[in-house]
Amino acid sequence: MQCQRKWRCSIHRNHKINGGDMKSGYMKLGGVGASPFLLMFLGGVLFASIWSGAFIASKVSLNDIPPLWLAQIRLAAAGLIFFLISRATTIRFWKEATPRCRTEILVAGVLSQAGYLGPMYWALCSLPAGTVTVVVASLPLVAVPMGALILRERISGMDIVAALVGAFGVIIVAIGRDAAAVNYTNLVSAPVVITFLAVLALAAGNALIKRYVNLQTIGPVCALQMMASSFALLPFALYFHGWHPGSFSHHSIGAFLYLVLIGSVLGTYVWMKVLQFFTSKSANIFFLLTPIFGLGIGYLYLHEPLTWQTLGGAALVIAAIMFAVLNYRRRDHP
């Protein structure tokens, strides 16, 4: 599918990146030959580390700012930055894109940005962090059928096994850190249902936007998606929280700047590159690394102890991710 030929999403095997060729398996980066597979794998790891930091920054910001206002202001600020960086390209992209292209990009943005961040922030105020972590661990499992339905990606038993093993590893880590937070009462509540619907929205949005992402379109796509999502959240923020969006303290201002500049701007750019390179189902499995980085942050800065249970769960997650991306390299991108 394409917006117009000029803006078509090039995700086929012979697509050239920065003067290199995907078919040959190498590309140029600053004049040095580098494997695109290795670079994008490291990009997925970098994204997970950024996302883990955003999780902590969100918890800090939510002490001062209501959840829907936090999501709305964050997306508005990040969307404005993307627009200012790529203003001319964004305007030209919008004018030349077909109506169907515009609609799908905006819908994908509302799903993956507003549809995910708004409910997720509300869940962080209503549920223990361990419970939220367990629900989000279902994302790779949800991404498999979403990729098949929207992008016609092939599904193998190995894809499902990798997602199951990774999700199981996350659950082990969550229980190891806070067993009381992961119990039957928490997992059958209305906030959990809403959190799972947010995960479904994220998986659908990621699959829907994948076909439109390439080196030329990342800036315009991110600007349009985030601005549309901020407008979509505005009436809900006004209805549930009123006209007062809270106030920043010296703690939350730093956390909010991280959310905008690192989490939404840098993190989304890296994620779009990873999503462009891998299949949707393989890219989404990197989200499982988020609690693993949280485990490391807790150990280094909060002096939380590491146990054999949490280390075992982390090992399962890492094994699942390696298995998924290597299986992708062998089957989908030889």
Give the tens place of pLDDT for each residue, 63-121. 899 999 999 999 999 999 999 999 999 999 999 989 999 999 999 999 999 999 999 89
Q: Has residue 22 been placed in a domain?
A: no
Joined tokens for residue 187: 């997992």
Number of domains in the chain: 1
The position carrying tokens 């999501």 is 71
Kindly report, residue by residue over 163-189, the tens digit of the pLDDT: 777 777 777 776 766 665 555 555 567
Q: Which distant-in-sequence residues (6+ apart) come within 8 Å of 69 by Cβ?
A: 237, 241, 245, 246
* Average pLDDT, integer, range 246-250: 79
Residue 326, domain extent: 35-331
Angle at 56 between CA 267 and CA 53, to 5 degrees: 30
Helix (H, G, I), strand (E, B) or coil at 216: coil
Residue 328 has pLDDT above 90, yes or no: no
Q: Which distant-in-sequence residues (6+ apart) come within 8 Å of 111 by Cβ?
A: 201, 202, 204, 205, 208
8-state DSSP, 62:
T
- Nearest Cα to 38, choosing from 284, 331, 325? 325
Q: In this predicted structure, what is the pLDDT of residue 251?
A: 78
Q: Has residue 14 been placed in a domain?
A: no
Q: Has residue 19 been placed in a domain?
A: no
Lowest mean pLDDT among 214-223, 277-286, 319-328: 319-328
What share of the chain in percent tops pLDDT 70?
79
φ and ψ of 315, to 5 deg = -65, -40
Q: How far apart are CA 78 and CA 277, in angstroms?
A: 23
Q: Which distant-in-sequence residues (6+ apart) come within 8 Å of 330 by Cβ?
A: none
Q: Has residue 4 been placed in a domain?
A: no
Q: How far apart are CA 81 and CA 91, in angstroms?
A: 14
Q: Has residue 123 been placed in a domain?
A: yes
Q: In this predicted structure, what is the pLDDT of residue 33?
A: 42
**To the nearest whole number, what is the mean pLDDT of the chain?**
79
Q: Indicate the pTM of the whole model.
A: 0.81
Sequence-ordered strand ranges (E) for the chain? 16-17, 20-21, 27-29, 32-34
Q: What is the dihedral of CA 211, 214, 216, 221, to 10 degrees?
A: 50
Q: Which distant-in-sequence residues (6+ apart) come within 8 Å of 99 by Cβ?
A: none
Which residue type, as a one-letter code, is found at position 175? I
Kindly report, residue by residue over 117-144, the tens digit of the pLDDT: 999 898 888 777 667 777 777 788 888 8
Q: In this predicted structure, what is the pLDDT of residue 141?
A: 80
Count, residues in the chain = 334
Rg (CA), the chain: 19
Angle between helices 157-177 and 308-331 (to 10 degrees): 160
Q: Has residue 11 been placed in a domain?
A: no
Residue 276 near residue 35 (C-beta atoms within 8 A): no
With residues binned 3-state (H G I as helix, E B as strand, rest as coil), the percentages for the chain, rounded to 5, are 75, 5, 20
Q: Which distant-in-sequence residues (6+ apart) come within 8 Å of 173 by Cβ?
A: 133, 291, 292, 295, 309, 310, 313, 314, 317
Q: Has residue 71 been placed in a domain?
A: yes
Residue 16 has pLDDT above 70, yes or no: no
Q: How far apart are CA 312 and CA 302, in angstroms?
A: 20
Confidence bin at 290 (pLDDT 50/70/90): confident
Q: What is the dihedral of CA 143, 221, 41, 43, to 10 degrees?
A: -130
Q: How far apart are CA 55 and CA 130, in angstroms?
A: 12
Q: Has residue 6 been placed in a domain?
A: no
Q: In this predicted structure, what is the pLDDT of residue 265?
A: 95
Higher pLDDT, 113 or 324: 113
Residue 27 has pLDDT above 60, yes or no: no
